[in-house]
Amino acid sequence: MTARPLSRRWYAREALVLAPELLNKLLVARDEAGRRRVGRIVEVEAYAGATDPASHAYRGSTARNATMFGPGGHLYVYFTYGMHWCANVVCGPSGTAQAVLIRALEPLAGLDEMRLARGQSATAGPGPAAQSRADRDLCRGPARLAQALAIVGTDDGVDLIRGRIRVLDDGFAPPAHPAQGPRVGISVAAERPWRFWVPDSGWVSASRRRVMPVDSVVATQ
DNA sequence: GGTGTGATCGTA
DNA sequence: ACGATCACACCA
């Protein structure tokens, strides 16, 4: 089956609906050499916009988050901790500033380019046995996958249907029962179980594969 | 496997 | 002042 982009309408749905639907879709970036770096989305987080204190859009539109307030199907890229870029899929009706943070990919193509972009591990020992970064560490984490796909600030606002970076559907269905748990690294609304991942995926950090107790999930939904 | 800490700078 | 984080050191 050939991989095809998704429609603008597909992206116009609520972040909480779209987030699990993005699981198992492909994230594809074309690099300067015309090579494609491809990963399958295995972990995401939903950010609901004005009603979500953890969202960058919670306090309204600014120069930084302007892309979130535009139409769905575009990439919102932000800079954090003074050194990292992270990538989100903007979704929902235009103006609602909803987004889904891409947290991890299973790398499928362009792994050599990804490794080069990520750099050698500082712990790789010297000599012929010096190992380059493990496949597992290429795209596990939002800043790592952005670096692997060379996603930076100039990619903010890119159209995911036609742009340098695209989300494609290759017919691989989302998991029927996605795993669900709390979002990572936030200090407010931390109880909302709005992180979704492919159950048992080895491409998601083991410590993040713990599911939230069912009653607490139900209670906050 | 887990925890703790420093890096580093744009944003509000 | 504080991040939608990461790499590394150290402990188990």
C-alpha dist (Å) from residue A129 to A113, A116, A125, A134? 21, 18, 7, 13
Q: What is the pLDDT of residues A62-115, one digit of tens each?
A: 999 999 999 999 999 999 999 999 999 999 999 999 999 999 999 999 999 999
For residue A103, what is the enclosing H or E element?
A: strand A98-109
Both structure tokens of A98: 């909803």
Distance in Å from B4's C1' to A145's CA comes to 24
Please write the tens of the pLDDT for every residue from A163-193. 999 999 999 999 999 999 999 999 999 999 9
| pLDDT on residue A67 | 98
* Better-predicted residue by pLDDT, A183 or A127: A183
Task: Work out if A164's Cβ lies within 7 angstroms of strand C.
Answer: no
Mean pLDDT of A127-145: 81
Which band of pLDDT confidence, cut at 50, 70 and 90, is reported for residue A215?
A: very low
A122 touches strand B (CB under 7 A): no
- For the whole model, what pTM was predicted? 0.93
Which residues, including other chains, have CB under 8 Å from residue A17's CB and lie 6 or more apart?
Answer: none
CA atoms lying within 13 Å on the CB side of residue A60: 0
- For B2, nearest residue by CA–C1' is A207
Query: How many Å does it take to go from CA A76 to C1' C1?
Result: 25
